[in-house]
Amino acid sequence: MKAIRLEEPRHFERVEIDEPAQPGPGQALVRTHRMGICGTDYSGYLGKMPFFRYPRIPGHELGVEVLAVGEGVENVKPGDRCSVEPYMNCGRCYACRRGHGNCCESLNVIGVMVDGGLCDRFLIRADKLHPSDKLTYEQLALVETLGIGCHATDRGAPQPGDHVLIIGAGPIGLATLEFTRLTGAEITVMDMIESRLAFCRETYGVPHTILFRGDDSEQEAMLEITGGDRYAVVIDATGNNRSMSNALNYVAHTGTLVYVGITTGEISFPHPTLHKAEMTIKGSRNALPDDFRRIIRLIEDGTIDTGPWITHRVAFDELIDRFESFTRPETGVIKAIVEVN
């Protein structure tokens, strides 16, 4: 059975792997139709992702078809099209007991810590499948990416009319923007690349954008936009530790800062910046099961348009040759989708 495996950084191999077993109790056998390529996959390829281990079959953003189900499975049946919640949690640790399997102490994300969906078929816990009879496989493969932004927005919890700053207009920032829009907040997006800001203005009608130059100009722009208050909620989606350290300077007194990007670097700041503002800093990891169901509904009813998201499509057999090009900014990739089957 076909699969593509990342043997080590910068080295993909097309491999034949064993057929999966028949599904046991609580499991489903699924066929991968579409897979979204994520920042995690790019960093895994480049050897920069701390949680990635090799060799690894990637693939955690998946649109799959249920082929067979094991004993006791009631939420899906053969023929269902599903989005995959790729977070395999233990169900027993403190976070899991409180319903936060997204940050389980021994979390295994498929395609990152264990093998994922870049293959013909695989077995998965059926409770991690979220079906829709309206969405296409491509749309289902986008749900996980959107989930990252959904959860980050919920962590920031902006109120209608609040000024919200999203730093970084890559896929995670755009996913955050999709959900921040729905809160009625007044949004500013900041990025280092003007074309990304133009995309936010033109496609999403973002009222305020700031080009980051690393001088005092962004602070001036922020004070003007917020009437001198700075931001009730700042969501940093850069994964850049310098940006993340700086982001405290943009938060209003009593405001909240959410880190949704990942860095292996250190974040540091003078304590008074935090203390005098009585600021709240939050992490945001993955997404919750209810987020998957909510996002499917929002795409089904047209609240979220997946059209602008998918910029590139690649056939399974061409992926290895084209993957490197997707890592280059000039390719203009927001989301590339692999047509696996």
Q: Footprint of Zn ion on this chain (CB under 5 A)? A: 38, 61, 89-90, 93, 96, 104
Decide: residue 324, CB within 10 A, 0-12 exposed, 13-18 middle, 19+ buried: middle
DSSP reduced 3-state for 217: helix
Contact 314, 337 (CB under 8 A): yes
Contacts for 38 with CB less than 8 Å, ≥ 6 apart: 60, 61, 145, 171
- Identity of the residue, 226 or 286, whose beta carbon is nearer to Zn ion in the bound complex: 286
Q: How far apart are CA 272 and CA 125, in angstroms?
A: 47
Residue whose entry in the numeric block shows the structure tokens 């649109």: 63
- Identity of the residue, 67 or 289, whose beta carbon is nearer to Zn ion in the bound complex: 289
Q: How far is the CB of 262 from Zn ion (least distance, A)?
A: 11
- Identity of the residue, 166 or 225, whose beta carbon is nearer to Zn ion in the bound complex: 166
Contacts for 279 with CB less than 8 Å, ≥ 6 apart: 248, 251, 253, 254, 255, 256, 257, 273
Q: How far is the CB of 144 from Zn ion (least distance, A)?
A: 6
Q: How far is the CB of 16 from Zn ion (least distance, A)?
A: 26
Q: How far is the CB of 90 from Zn ion (least distance, A)?
A: 4
Q: How far is the CB of 44 from Zn ion (least distance, A)?
A: 11
- Identity of the residue, 104 or 126, whose beta carbon is nearer to Zn ion in the bound complex: 104
- Identity of the residue, 92 or 201, whose beta carbon is nearer to Zn ion in the bound complex: 92
Q: b/e string for 73-104 if b means 16 or more Cβ within 10 A?
A: beebeeebbbbbbbbbbeeebebbeeeebbbb
Q: How far is the CB of 105 from Zn ion (least distance, A)?
A: 5
Q: How far apart are CA 238 and CA 166, in angstroms?
A: 9
Name the DSSP letter for residue 251.
E
- Identity of the residue, 50 or 302, whose beta carbon is nearer to Zn ion in the bound complex: 50
